[in-house]
Structure 1
Amino acid sequence: MFGSNFLNKYLNRQFERSSAIGSFTLCVLSLSACSTNQESKHVVLSSNQNVTQTNYGDVSNVIIGGGMRSCSSMGSKEFMQEANSRYCLQGWSKILREDIAFTGLKASDVSFEPAITHPAFSYRIDASSIEKIRALSEQLMAKQIKDKVIAKLIQVREAKPETALSGMSWKALVDLLASQDISPAIQLKNELSTLAHSALRHSLVEPLETATQPRLLQARSVKFLSDRSSSAIYQTFLEATQRKADQKQPGSKPKIGIVTASAENPFNDRDISYYAFKSLGADVVWLPIEGGLRQAIDQQLCEFAPIFYADYANRGSLRDYSHMDLLYPDLAAQQIAFCKNNASALNQELMKLDGIFFTGGNQTRHLESFITKQAMYSVSSSDGVSEQLRLLRKQYAEGRLVVAGSSAGDAVQSGGQWRGRPVPMIGGGDSVKVLRHGYGQIDGPEPEAPGAKGSFAKNGGLGFFRFGVLDSHFSQRAREARLVRLVADSGVDYGFGVDENTALVVHASAADGSHHMRVVGAGGVFVVDARQAKLQSEKLAAFKIENIMIHYLNQGDSLTMTQAGDLQVQLSSDSKKSSQPMMKQAITAERIQDSGSFRFLKLIQKMGEDGADKGIGSTGREQNSDASEFALTIRRTSDSELRINTEGNLSYARLRLDIAPYPSNGVVIDNTLR
C-alpha cells in the first residue's frame, strides 16, 4: 500500500491539495437556503443546520495551525475580471458585486496593491506641539524630563527660523535636540523612556496631507475562496457560533469578535479578518484590544492610547510602527471609544459574542493584551487578569462562547491547570535550539526566526484549553522536538501540534465528562503523550527522554479525552492499515528537525513502506558550535498502527519516541532516507 510515489503525492495532498476546485463552490451560510454540494461534504441548508453532522455535542474550540489560504484583494489588481487570483473562484469585480461583505463598496474603496506602504512622517516644532507636550500625563513623561524637553524646544524656536522647524525627519529632529549649540542638549535614547520617546514623537508629528481622504480597505472573501480545507475550517467555526446564536435567539446571526492583537500592526490585520467573517454572513465586531490599549485601559489614559500603542508595538519589532493612528484614524478612534469609562463599551460587546477569533502573529502580544506581565510570573491564577479576560472565561465556561484562533491564536488558547500543574504556553523557539538549551520565561514579544531560543509562559495562555500544550505550523516547521521538550519540562501529560491549513476541533464536555476532538483540513495533528515517558533526572545533563507515545491524526481520525484524563485515539475505520509485516530494521535520516524538510514525517512514511520497526534521525550540528547533536528514535511496537485514508494521507497511532544526545545509542546515521 505504501508505493514508491506515495510520499510526494501525500505531501502534495496534505498541504496543497485543495487548490483543484473544478466546479466546486462552497455553500456559505448567509442565513438563507442554499443547495447541497456533494464534493465538499460541508453543507449548510439553513441557519440552524450543521456543517458536518456529529454526535459529540457543541464545539467549544477551533484550534488552527496557521497557513489558511485566503481570497484577498491584495496584489489582485490584474485579476479584476479573471478568476483564480490568490485562491479566488472569481475576479474581484464579481466578488465585490456578489459577496454580501462588500455591500455598498466600490473597487475604488479597496486596495489591490501587493502590500501596504507607509508614508515618511515629518515633524515640526511650534507652539502647538509644545503645548501637546505640556498636556502629556506624567505617567507618560516625567515632569523633570518634560520641563527639560520643553525648555530645549523653546530655545530652538528662538534660535531658528520657523521655516527650518517644519518638515523635519525624525533623525534631523533628534540631532537638533542633541546639539550642544543650543542648551540643554538632550540625548533622547539615553534620557527618555521608550514610552516618553513615543509620546514626544506623537506630539511633534505633522498631519498627513492625505488625512482627509478615506483609507483604502483590504478585502477578503470566504464566499469565493477556492481552497476547500480553509473553507471547511471557516465553516466549522461559523456553524459552531450559529448554534450558540440560535440557543439565545433562534434564527439570529452569530456575532463574532476578532482580536488582531498578536500583530505588530493590529490595525493592518483588522480589515482582512473583519471582511472574511462578514463574507460568511456573521455579525462581526473588531475588538481593538492590544498590549498598548491594555495599559491605556488599566491607567484610564484613553486619549493617549495611540502613544501606548506605538510604545508597545515597537518592542521586539524589526519595523517602526509609530503614528498608525494617522494611517488608520477610524480604527484609532474605535480604540479610544472602547477604552473610556473603564472599557464599559468593550465589555458590553464581549458579553454579546457567540464566538471570538484570535488571529496570527505573536502569541505573547495576544497574552499581554489580556493580562499584565506580572501575571505571567504570579503563582495566583487571578493576579493581573483583566476584566475582559474574566468575562470571556465566564462566557466560555457557561458554554455561550466558541473560541477559535490561528497560529498565535492557536498557541494562546492553552492554559489553566492539568492534574495540579499549570499548562504552559509556547512562546517561540527552534526545535534544535530548544533541545540543546531548553526554555526560558517569556519577557515580552520577540520576533520568531529560525534558530530562535525557546521561550514559554509558565502560567499558560488565556486558559481556554487545559488538556495540554498547543503548537502551530507544526509539520511545516519541524516542531516535534520543541513540543516534546516543553511537555516534558512542564510535567503535563499531553501536547498537540497542529499543521498549517488544519484545525483541531474540540467539543464541549459530553454527559460522561469526556471531551471529543477531531481534525478538519488539509494536514494533521501531532499528539504527544508523556504519561509513560522516562525523563533524564540529572539536571545538568543533556536532555534525554524515553518512551514518549506519539500519534498523528488526519481528517476522519479523532481523539477522546476521558473524564479521568486518559487520551484515546481512534483512527478512521475507512483508512487502510499498512500491509507490510513489521521486521527488525532501522531506517535512518539526517537533519529531521530542519524547518521545511518534513523529514520526521518522511521517516515514519519510509518505516511503513519497508516494514521497519525503527527509525532514527539526527538533528544535525549548528555551524561554528560545539553543542550536542541529538538523535530521535521512533519505534513501532505491537500496538502501533499506521494507516492511509481515502485521500492518501498518512495517520499513525501509538508509536514511541526517544530523544538522546547523538550518538549515545551507538547507531551511525548514514541517511538511508534520501
Structure 2
Amino acid sequence: MVLMGGGLSICSSTQESACVSTPQWPDEAKKAELYLIQPHYITNISNAEDWPADRKPLLRQVTAMLQHLQSKLADTPVTQRELSRLWRSSEVEVNGSWVSGRELYSSLSGAELNFIFDQLEIAVKKSSLTKNRVEEQVSAQLSKDQFSLGLYQQFVDLAREVNANKKPVKKAPHIVVLTASGRDPYAAVDFYQSLFEQLGATVSWLPVNAAYQAALRDSAGAEAGCNNFPHHLTKEQGSFQRARVYPDLATKQKEFCLKGSDNAVRLIGKADAIFINGGDQSLTYKALKQPDGTDTPELAKIRVMLERGKLILAGTSAGTAVLSGGSYLGQQTVMISNGQSAQALYQGALAQPAPADGCENDRSCGEGVDEKSLTYQASGLNLFPWGVLDTHFSERGRQGRLLTLVAQTQASFGFGVDEATGLLVGFDDKNPSLVRFHVKGNNGVYLAERSANSQFKPSKLTEMTSHYFTNGDSFSLQQGQLIANFADWKYAPNTSNRPLLNSGNVFSSDNYRQLAQLLCGTQSRDATGQFDVAGREYKLKLHRPAEAASRTGQYAVGNVHKSYCSYRNVLVSVEPAL
C-alpha cells in the first residue's frame, strides 16, 4: 500500500502555480473550469424542488442575484473564482430591500453552493465550432514539488514490480484510477490519466462510485438505473449537470454501468495497481460497500488481489482514510469522517454520519452536532486494520482529533499522514503478523498510541503516547509492539538549550507540529500549548520521558534541502487551564 496524506502538488494546465516555469500547453489543454449564467440555467435553480420551505426566501435572493450577475457578464464565461468575487462584491434589491452579495453567499450551505455552481458550469471546448471538450493536461517533470512527484513515481515503480511478476509481462504497468471520493466523479479523471501515463504506466479509469452502485440496485432494474444515471448521481453524490460538462465521460459511465459488476471485476483483475483519489471518504465507502456493510464484488476482488500480493493499492486524502477498518488486537478499527481537534477534545467522538459542509447555515447538522464535531463510522473498507487513518494531518492541526478517537474507541494506534507525504506499507509472507512501514516525502507520519496509563473523557486526556516519523524512517508492528528505526542519516540532537517551549492556539494550522519539533530538537523535557473551545481555555502538555528518543537531519531533493526531526515516545496530556 502507498498511503498519501493529500496536498500533493503537480504541474498541470489548471495548476500552473505548481510549475517551475509555464509550459507551452497545446490548444486542447484545459486551463480552468468555466461558468456561464443563462436564463434557463437560472430557471433550473429557481425551480429547484429540493430547497426546504424555510429556505425559499433565500432562493429568491439567489435568483435575483444571478439575474443581476447575468446582466453584468453579458454571456461571458468566467472562472469560479471570478464569479464568486463578483457575487460577493455585488448588491441586489429584493422586495424593496438591498441584499449584500457577501452576506448572501456566506449564508448558503455547501450543498446549496454546489447545486448553484453545478447548474452554471459548462463544458470547456477548443472553440465554439467543436463538440469536443478540452482536457486538463500534466507536465510532471516541471513540477516544483519534487517530493510529490517522487511519491507518484514510487507508486508507478511499485506497480511495475507487480507487473514484472506476472505472466505475460506487459510493456508498462497497468494502473486503474478510481475517482469515487469525488462529489463530481469526473473532475479528476483527466489529471490522473495524464499524470500516470507520463510516469510510464498505461491507465484506465474505473467508473465505480456511489451512484453506480445505486443504479445497479435500482428498484426498476439495473438497466433502468443506468439509463437514469444522472438521477442517482444527484441523489447519492449531490452532483448536477455533469453530462453537460463532461459528455464523453458521462457516456463512458453509462456504458460501463450497463455492463454490470462482472465487467468491473474483470477490469480490476487486469490491474497492477489501483489509485483512489481524494474528496469524501464516505462516498468511497458507498462505492465499494453494500448498504448492509458487506463487500461489493469490486471490493471483494481488490481484497483478494491485495492479500495475494498481486496489487498495489494507493490512496490520497479521503482515498487513504477510507481504507481504515477491521480488527486489530481484539479492537475494532473505525473510520474517521469529520472533526476539528479542539472540539474533539471538548466533546468527544460521535458515532454518527459526518455533518454536511455549511450545515449550520441550513440547520441540518443534527442534534448535538456542529460542523466541527468529531464523527466516525464503525469501519471503512477494512483494508487497514492496524489503526485509524487520518490525512492533511499536521497542516490542519488534527492531532487532537486522532488522539481523541484512538483513546475513546480503545484502538491501539492512529496514523496521521501529513501532506505531500506517503506511508508505504509492506507485508511479510513468512510472518503474517509482522507489518512494515516506511515514510517517504516532504513531511511525516504521526502515530497516536494508547498505553495502559492512557485515559480519556471529554475535556481531559491523560498520557497518550505519540511518535513522529519523517522521510527515510521505518517502523514495524508485530502483535501491537512498535519497533522504530530512524533513517541512518539522522543523528541525536546535540544542543544543550533548554528553552521554555510554549505555543498559543496549538491546533491552529501546524502550530502543534512546530511546538513538537522544537521539543524534538532540544534537550527540553516539556512543551505546552493552549487552545480555546466553548469559551474555556485548555492546556496541552508534551512530555519527553526517559524512554523517549529523537533524531534530526537534512535531506536533499533536487535543489531543496529539507530539515527533519523525528521522535518517539513523547507523552501527550490535555486538561482545562486553571
Give your verdict on TM over 0.5. yes
Q: Please state if 1:526 is matched with 2:439.
A: no
CA 1:610–1:118: 2 relative to 1, 3 Å: same
Q: 1:358–1:409: 8 Å Cα contact kept in structure 2?
A: yes
Corresponding residue for residue 395 of structure 2? 476
Determine which of 548, 551, 554 is the counterpart of 1:640: 548
Give aligned-pair identity as a percent: 25
CA 1:172–1:582: 2 relative to 1, 3 Å: closer
Q: 1:211–1:326: 8 Å Cα contact kept in structure 2?
A: no
Deviation of 1:211 after TM superposition, in Å, equals: 10
How far apart, in 2, do the equivalents of 1:479 and 1:468 lie? 15
Corresponding residue for residue 34 of structure 2? 117
Deviation of 1:229 after TM superposition, in Å, equals: 0.5
Corresponding residue for residue 661 of structure 1? 576
Deviation of 1:225 after TM superposition, in Å, equals: 2.8
Deviation of 1:645 after TM superposition, in Å, equals: 1.4
Corresponding residue for residue 567 of structure 2? 652
CA 1:120–1:653: 2 relative to 1, 3 Å: same
Determine which of 11, 23, 27 is the counterpart of 1:92: 23
Determine which of 497, 507, 518 is the counterpart of 1:606: 518
Determine which of 38, 44, 65 is the counterpart of 2:5: 65
Q: Please state if 1:557 is matched with 2:473.
A: yes
Q: Please state if 1:588 is matched with 2:498.
A: no
Q: 2:520–2:567: 8 Å Cα contact kept in structure 1?
A: no
After superposition, where does 1:98-109 map in structure 2 within 5 Å? 107-109=26-28
Corresponding residue for residue 418 of structure 1? 328
Determine which of 213, 217, 226 is the counterpart of 1:294: 213
Once the two structures are superposed, residues 509-564 of structure 1 have per-residue CA deviations (whole angstroms, 9 ceiling, x without a partner) of 2533322111111101111111334214xxxx5343322111111112111112x2
Corresponding residue for residue 528 of structure 2? 616
Corresponding residue for residue 322 of structure 1? 240
After superposition, where does 1:400-411 map in structure 2 within 5 Å? 400-411=310-321
Deviation of 1:272 after TM superposition, in Å, equals: 0.8
Q: 2:520–2:566: 8 Å Cα contact kept in structure 1?
A: no
Q: Please state if 1:572 is matched with 2:487.
A: yes
Once the two structures are superposed, residues 380-436 of structure 1 have per-residue CA deviations (whole angstroms, 9 ceiling, x without a partner) of xx3xx3111111111111111111011111211211111222211110111111111
Choose 508-517 or 259-268, whichever is displaced more: 508-517
How far apart, in 1, do the equivalents of 2:145 and 2:465 lie? 33
> SS of 2:263's equivalent?
helix
How far apart, in 2, do the equivalents of 1:65 and 1:221 lie? 22
How far apart, in 1, do the equivalents of 2:209 and 2:248 lie? 16
Deviation of 1:446 after TM superposition, in Å, equals: 2.9
Choose 603-612 or 650-659, whichever is displaced more: 603-612
CA 1:73–1:530: 2 relative to 1, 3 Å: same
CA 1:426–1:75: 2 relative to 1, 3 Å: closer
Q: 2:529–2:541: 8 Å Cα contact kept in structure 1?
A: yes
> SS of 1:70's equivalent?
coil
Q: 2:272–2:312: 8 Å Cα contact kept in structure 1?
A: yes
Q: 1:431–1:481: 8 Å Cα contact kept in structure 2?
A: yes
Deviation of 1:222 after TM superposition, in Å, equals: 2.3
CA 1:310–1:245: 2 relative to 1, 3 Å: same
CA 1:207–1:395: 2 relative to 1, 3 Å: closer
Supply the AA of the counterpart residue of 1:439: A
CA 1:251–1:262: 2 relative to 1, 3 Å: closer
Corresponding residue for residue 335 of structure 1? 253
Determine which of 303, 310, 319 is the counterpart of 1:393: 303
Q: 1:426–1:470: 8 Å Cα contact kept in structure 2?
A: yes
Corresponding residue for residue 370 of structure 1? 288
- Unaligned 5+ segments in structure 2 are 50-117, 360-369, 556-562
How far apart, in 1, do the equivalents of 2:463 and 2:347 lie? 21
Supply the AA of the counterpart residue of 1:482: R
Q: 1:571–1:653: 8 Å Cα contact kept in structure 2?
A: no
Structure showing the higher strand proportion among its residues: 2
CA 1:566–1:590: 2 relative to 1, 3 Å: same
Corresponding residue for residue 347 of structure 2? 437
Corresponding residue for residue 546 of structure 1? 462
How far apart, in 1, do the equivalents of 2:442 and 2:156 lie? 18
Q: 1:433–1:451: 8 Å Cα contact kept in structure 2?
A: no
CA 1:612–1:451: 2 relative to 1, 3 Å: farther
Supply the AA of the counterpart residue of 1:230: S
| Larger Rg computed on CA atoms | 1
Choose 639-648 or 461-470, whichever is displaced more: 639-648
How far apart, in 2, do the equivalents of 1:207 and 1:108 lie? 15
How far apart, in 2, do the equivalents of 1:405 and 1:637 lie? 35
Deviation of 1:580 after TM superposition, in Å, equals: 3.8
Once the two structures are superposed, residues 339-367 of structure 1 have per-residue CA deviations (whole angstroms, 9 ceiling, x without a partner) of 12433322211111111111111111111
Q: 2:158–2:312: 8 Å Cα contact kept in structure 1?
A: yes
Q: 1:429–1:448: 8 Å Cα contact kept in structure 2?
A: no
Q: 1:362–1:445: 8 Å Cα contact kept in structure 2?
A: no
How far apart, in 1, do the equivalents of 2:5 and 2:477 lie? 20
Determine which of 249, 259, 262 is the counterpart of 2:181: 262
> SS of 2:188's equivalent?
helix
Deviation of 1:279 after TM superposition, in Å, equals: 1.0
| RMSD of equivalent CA atoms | 3.0
> SS of 1:257's equivalent?
strand
Choose 550-559 or 574-583, whichever is displaced more: 574-583
Q: 2:459–2:576: 8 Å Cα contact kept in structure 1?
A: yes
Q: 2:454–2:461: 8 Å Cα contact kept in structure 1?
A: yes
Supply the AA of the counterpart residue of 2:206: L
After superposition, where does 1:478-493 map in structure 2 within 5 Å? 478-493=397-412
Determine which of 442, 446, 452 is the counterpart of 2:372: 452
> SS of 1:476's equivalent?
helix
Supply the AA of the counterpart residue of 2:18: Y
Deviation of 1:610 after TM superposition, in Å, equals: 5.2
Deviation of 1:309 after TM superposition, in Å, equals: 0.5
Q: Please state if 1:516 is matched with 2:447.
A: no
Corresponding residue for residue 19 of structure 1? none
How far apart, in 1, do the equivalents of 2:256 and 2:39 lie? 29
Supply the AA of the counterpart residue of 1:406: T
CA 1:455–1:373: 2 relative to 1, 3 Å: farther
CA 1:169–1:259: 2 relative to 1, 3 Å: same
CA 1:174–1:412: 2 relative to 1, 3 Å: closer
Q: 1:519–1:558: 8 Å Cα contact kept in structure 2?
A: yes
Q: 1:253–1:281: 8 Å Cα contact kept in structure 2?
A: yes
- Unaligned 5+ segments in structure 1 are 1-60, 77-85, 97-106, 124-166, 176-201, 315-320, 376-381, 664-674
Determine which of 280, 287, 306 is the counterpart of 2:230: 306
Corresponding residue for residue 367 of structure 2? none
How far apart, in 2, do the equivalents of 1:476 and 1:110 lie? 31
TM-score for both structures, normalised by structure 2: 0.78
How far apart, in 1, do the equivalents of 2:212 and 2:39 lie? 25
